[in-house]
Structure 1
Amino acid sequence: MEWQQHGRRQVYGSPWVEVWLDDVTIPGIGRIDHHVIRYPKGSTTSVVTNELGQILLLWRHRFITGRWGWEVPAGWAEPGEDPAHAIAREVEEETGWRPGRVELMTEYDAMAGISNAHFRSYHVTGAVKVGEPEDVSEAARIEWHSEADVVKLLTSSQVSDGPSHAALSYYLGPYRLACG
């Protein structure tokens, strides 16, 4: 069943996030105001691997959840910016490693029932160390981890960031199976 949208009004807006009330009719329920969170920029994540099969991760604190955890390099694509270019820029800024090849693995809508949060996840190979990270606020540590260690991190809740969890799980599962 398809919802019918009659209109919308913005409740809050910033360059980072917008909150809207959409006037919709839901079949079988009726007409309601539905809260919608919109993101003006697209989100990109990456699984950076090296020739040893290791994966590059960032150890960082997230003040909203109050948790430390391992994450993949990620960031926003500016309006009109190629998302593959955006993730290459983010990887270098956050880690000091310049990507070689950047290949789209998958894309998905993280919270399709309430948000337009759209993520693209890339596999980055051939990275070359070009210096220290440009933004020292991104991570307390940047380390290469074996695939076995990444699986342990995923299953022990040490990767709690949703986009990182999705990118790593997709890379270790469907992506690797499809690429043979």
Structure 2
Amino acid sequence: MEWKNLGETAVYENPWFKVNLADVELPNGRHLDHFTIRLRDVALTAAINEHDEVLLLWRHRFITDSWGWELPGGVVDDGETPAEAAAREMFEETGWRAGPLQPLMIVEPASGLIDARHHIYWSEGAEHVGEPADDFESERREWVPLKRVPELIDEHAIPAANTLSALMRLHHLRQL
């Protein structure tokens, strides 16, 4: 059963996102108004070292007033590929330069309301170059063992859906 978007009207817009009101036709012909949030794509990097540890950020999110582990990442800038953005964001937020990036997955964290696509890459290794340019992004950066992922999930220490999905997949792929 497919819902049809017959058009959208802008409600609010800024450089980061747009809020639109969509005229949606349901399969039975009924119409409803549905708000949509249109976001720019996001890219993240999961760098894995020789000890099967992943480089994570420990950070506070003021919107949910919660702390948790996250992969470094951010918005894909105009003229930039998701892989370029993932590498740039990792370097800016951690001071580490990722090895060659390989696609891991694309997730859509809230597809019933938001059209954001999160492109997640992984790399074998990373090189420490210096202090992060964006050190305000996190309280600390640590190499965390992938084998701890189930425990961290149980502790609700990985609340971000994109990081959670990526780490579960990497944990599974590495069969830890």
Do the structures match in fold with TM over 0.5? yes
Using the size of structure 2 for normalisation, the TM-score is: 0.93
Please name the residue that 1:13 is paired with: 13
The normalised TM-score by structure 1 is 0.91
Query: Partners of 1:48 and 1:151 in 2: how far apart?
Result: 18
Aligned to 1:154: 153
**Residue type at the aligned position of 2:16:** W
Q: Secondary structure at the match of 1:101?
A: coil
Q: Which blocks of at least 5 consecutive residues in structure 2 are unaligned?
A: none
Tell me the equivalent position of 1:28.
28
2:107 alignment counterpart: 108
- CA shift for structure 1 position 29: 5.9
1:58 CA displacement = 0.7
The reply on whether 1:37 has 2:23 as its aligned counterpart is no
SS of equivalent residue, structure 1 residue 122: strand
The equivalent residue for 1:73 is: 72
CA distance in 1, matches of 2:166, 2:76: 17
Counterpart CA distance in 2 for 1:5 and 1:144 is 44
Aligned 8 A contact 1:59 1:69 in 2: yes
The Cα RMSD (Å) is: 1.4
Q: Structure 1 regions of 5+ residues with no counterpart? A: none
Structure 1 residue identity aligned to 2:32: I
Distance of aligned partners of 1:34 and 1:28 in 2 relative to their CA distance in 1, 3 Å threshold: same
- Structure 1 segments, 4+ long, off by >6 Å, are none
Deviations 1:92-141 (A, max 9, x none): 11001011110001112222222211111111223100000101211111
Change in 2 beyond 3 A, CA 1:148/1:5: closer
Q: Which amino acid aligns with 2:26?
A: I
